[in-house]
Amino acid sequence: MRVFVLFWKINQIESLFTKSEALKYFARALAKSGRFERALEITEIIGELELNLDKDMALEEISQIMAQRNLILRAKHIIKQIQNPSLRIKALVELAKFSKEEDDIINAYNEIEKVENLGLKLNLLVELLKVLSDLGRRP
Amino acid sequence: MELFKKVLGEVRAQLEEVSKYHKALNLVKIWQATHEGEDLEKAWECAHQEGYFDILVEIVKSLALENPEEALKKAVTINEKSWREKAYIEIVKKLSRDKERNSGIISQTISLIENKYHKALALLEIGKINEVLEIAKDVLPELKVELLILVAKKTRNEKYLIFALKSIKGVKLGNKDCFRKEIAKVFVELGNYRMAKEIADQIGFLDFQIEVWCEIGARDYESFRFVLENKSN
């Protein structure tokens, strides 16, 4: 009944923003506990609130946790569902860090090259540089 | 290797296009990737000149493992006491991975910390629990509760959470709910959901209460499907 109490409490929140924050927090906590399917069900609920960016943020976090646990294929599948380009690329860089696959690194790089916002592009390139360094791909 | 050079070239070329803060931050990341002394000095100089203390601490933290002496030398020059002591704590945290080998520099670093609470945080990193508890008796109530929570996390011993709870009750605190939330979350970490639930019920601020319930629900959700189905009906 504990989850029932939780949903009842989340429904008490009037602000849509706070409600979404609570659901994102829950999705993250579920993913960290390894309950990925449950975490994805929560992202669907966030989607029902028509908060697509928040849904993407939750998906990005879940994909990161999956990648960190070496669940690379599942993480890739989740990343495909992320609509927001910056969040998707951020997730691709994180994926490359753990998959260590040449194709994933190149894919992340090609996606970064499409970014128009200079500040964001620089941040992503720097992250990729760190990934390449960690994988021993520096001179 | 080719891609590394290509990305590095692009990053360097774009550095002047961003704010000074982001330039300093990216210089740190460049150094973390290249491990070249020249990049380190550029990053340090930039952050030092502009007084970006968080970046200076980040540099000290990254440097601590590969060159502890240099990290300490740099930390000493941070001219804001609180940030300087944060840098000292980061050095101790990194070096605590090999306490025996680094005992000399760890003691030297801790001896430089003047603030009691900061000293307790550094001592906690090297597992000096009794010393931390001794300091906890002698600091502000809020800091005492914080320290007890940290000791409980480190030792995974619930008795310190009970002490922390008692310290909340005994003292008038401005932010009791926040401490209750933190204590309840550690109870969840330790697997004591019953106690976590009890504390959650005492929390007045709904957002904090939900945070605890999320942590409990994430680990203990046998009726999850039932709830989802009922929610959509």
Q: Cβ–Cβ of B221/A3 closer than 8 Å?
A: yes
- Residue holding tokens 């004591």? B192
Give me the helices (H) in chain B, please: 2-14, 20-34, 37-50, 53-66, 68-76, 81-95, 103-111, 116-125, 129-136, 141-155, 158-170, 176-189, 193-202, 206-219, 224-232
Confidence of residue A33 (pLDDT cuts 50, 70, 90): very high
Please determine, for residue B220, whether its predicted confidence score (pLDDT) is greater than 90: no
What is the per-residue pLDDT for A123?
Answer: 93
Mean pLDDT of chain B: 91
pLDDT above 90 covers a percentage of chain B that reads 83
Confidence of residue B173 (pLDDT cuts 50, 70, 90): low
- Average pLDDT on B163-170 reads 87
What is the per-residue pLDDT for A2?
Answer: 59
Q: Cβ–Cβ of A119/B1 closer than 8 Å?
A: no
The enclosing H or E element of A17 equals: helix A16-32
- Average pLDDT on A13-29 reads 91
User: For residue A100, which residues of chain B lie inside 8 Å, CB to CB?
Assistant: none
Confidence of residue A6 (pLDDT cuts 50, 70, 90): confident
pLDDT above 70 covers a percentage of chain B that reads 92
Residues A100-114 have pLDDT tens digits of 898 999 999 999 999
Q: Cβ–Cβ of A118/B17 closer than 8 Å?
A: yes
Residues B77-119 have pLDDT tens digits of 999 999 999 999 999 999 999 988 999 999 999 999 999 999 9
**Who's near B48: CB < 8 A, 6+ residues apart?**
B56, B77
Contact A68, A31 (CB under 8 A): no
- Average pLDDT on A30-58 reads 93
Q: Please tell me the pTM assigned to this model.
A: 0.89
Q: Cβ–Cβ of A6/B213 closer than 8 Å?
A: yes
What is the per-residue pLDDT for B219?
Answer: 87
When CB atoms are compared, the residue of B10, B211, B224 closest to A25 is B211
Please determine, for residue B222, whether its predicted confidence score (pLDDT) is greater than 60: no
What is the per-residue pLDDT for A15?
Answer: 86
Interface test with B, best of A12, A122, A130, A137 (most B CBs within 10 A): A122
Please determine, for residue B226, whether its predicted confidence score (pLDDT) is greater than 50: no
- Average pLDDT on A68-81 reads 97
What is the per-residue pLDDT for B114?
Answer: 97
What is the per-residue pLDDT for B172?
Answer: 63
Please determine, for residue B228, whether its predicted confidence score (pLDDT) is greater than 80: no
